[in-house]
């Protein structure tokens, strides 16, 4: 059994990332003998996390109101490491300033760039060539604490938001496994961020306001669509444009396709738009009338 400077580890978050975090922390619990608790603050992915907690005998505390989480953490007396992953609860100053709490968070970008929400989308939209995962200490300023670990992945000209998100989640788990035992054994200093000129991204912001013009380049349109694409249940809905006849339509599907003819340009039919993407490729857009 290893030595441990924490009496308790609390995991808070949702989705696939919190499931892998819970499984890993359950393994470390056997080695370091700390108490392990899962706080469910979001219903997203709850069934999977519940199943893991049952199998690993991890207590679950369901606190869906922000005030409830704050009240609970404020009253924690044990020396505790709080691991935040896929978490939308913002830790207030009175929580992060508690001397017995060490709070760390996973962020889905290479901080200090793209703090806030939906970071993979903004990295694609602004044509970044790489993104990645960051683990950092939590302060009362969002995504501003000292960086513990970062890992990078590439973004290519076809990467979609859901694909980038998956790559970043995999990196995040690798990152946690690379520093978790150090965190349990000793003080980890981290590296300060330069947050002076950063822009915060909010949940209500949508790349390009979710709209494009048919006069935009096909490359820019394709990048916008990829940045908004989290699959069927994404946060942004569908991109919108206006046809030459004045109708407003939403894009239901999009993909690059081999050019079947030498002619380049833009072609609008009853159900689709085709525009030149590069020398050998067209961008095919399926659309329907906006409801």
Q: What is the 3-state secondary structure (H, E, C) of 80-134?
A: EEEEEECCCCCCCHHHHCCCCEEEEEEECCCCCCCCECCHHHHHHHCCCCEEEEE
Between 40-49, 91-100, 121-130, 134-143, the lowest mean confidence (pLDDT) is in: 40-49
Q: Is the pTM of this model over 0.75?
A: yes
Confidence of residue 45 (pLDDT cuts 50, 70, 90): low
Q: What is the pLDDT of residue 167?
A: 98
Q: Tens digits of per-residue pLDDT, 127-177?
A: 999 999 999 999 999 999 999 999 999 999 999 999 999 999 999 999 999
Q: Is the pLDDT reported for residue 42 higher than 90? A: no
User: Which CATH superfamily does the domain covering 8-185 fall into?
Assistant: Formyl transferase, N-terminal domain (3.40.50.170)
Q: What is the pLDDT of residue 224?
A: 98
For the chain, what are the domain ranges? 8-185, 207-289
Q: Which residue has the higher pLDDT, 183 or 197?
A: 183
Confidence of residue 2 (pLDDT cuts 50, 70, 90): low
Q: Tens digits of per-residue pLDDT, 253-281?
A: 999 999 877 777 899 998 999 999 998 99
The answer to whether 26 touches 56, Cβ cutoff 8 Å, is yes
pLDDT, mean of residues 95-106: 98
**DSSP of 37-71:** EEEE---TTHHHHHHHHHHHT--EEE--SHHHHHH
DSSP structural state of residue 206: -
The answer to whether 18 touches 105, Cβ cutoff 8 Å, is no
Confidence of residue 53 (pLDDT cuts 50, 70, 90): very high
Q: Is the pLDDT reported for residue 209 higher than 60? A: yes
Q: State which fold the 207-289 domain adopts.
A: 3.10.25
pLDDT, mean of residues 234-241: 95
Q: What is the pLDDT of residue 27?
A: 97
The answer to whether 152 touches 197, Cβ cutoff 8 Å, is no
Q: Tens digits of per-residue pLDDT, 126-138?
A: 999 999 999 999 9
Q: Is the pLDDT reported for residue 1 higher than 80? A: no
């Amino acid at each position: 059994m290893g030595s441990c400077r924490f009496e308790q580890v609390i995991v808070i978050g949702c989705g696939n990332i919190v499931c892998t975090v819970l499984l890993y922390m359950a393994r470390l619990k056997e080695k370091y003998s700390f108490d392990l608790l899962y706080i469910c603050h979001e219903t997203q992915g709850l069934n999977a996390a519940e199943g893991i907690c049952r199998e690993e005998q991890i207590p679950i505390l369901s606190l869906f109101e922000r005030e409830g989480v704050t009240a609970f953490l404020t009253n924690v007396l044990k020396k505790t490491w709080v691991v935040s992953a896929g978490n939308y609860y913002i830790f207030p100053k009175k929580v992060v300033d508690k001397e017995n709490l060490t709070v760390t968070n996973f962020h889905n970008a290479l901080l200090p760039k793209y703090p806030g929400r939906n970071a993979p989308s903004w990295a694609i939209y602004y044509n970044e060539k790489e993104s990645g995962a960051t683990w950092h200490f939590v302060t009362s300023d969002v995504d501003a604490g000292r960086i513990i670990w970062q890992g990078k992945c590439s973004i290519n000209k076809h990467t979609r938001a859901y694909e980038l998100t998956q790559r970043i989640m995999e990196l995040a788990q690798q990152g946690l496994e690379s520093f978790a035992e150090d965190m349990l054994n000793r003080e980890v200093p981290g590296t300060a961020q330069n947050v002076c000129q950063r822009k915060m991204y909010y949940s209500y912001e949508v790349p390009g306001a979710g709209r494009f013009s048919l006069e935009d380049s096909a490359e820019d349109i394709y990048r916008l669509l990829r940045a908004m694409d989290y699959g069927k249940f994404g946060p942004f809905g569908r991109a919108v444009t206006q046809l030459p006849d004045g109708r407003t339509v939403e894009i239901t599907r999009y993909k690059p396709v081999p050019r079947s003819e030498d002619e380049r340009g833009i072609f609008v039919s009853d159900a689709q738009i085709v525009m030149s993407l590069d020398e050998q490729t067209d961008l095919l857009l399926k659309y329907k009338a906006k409801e």
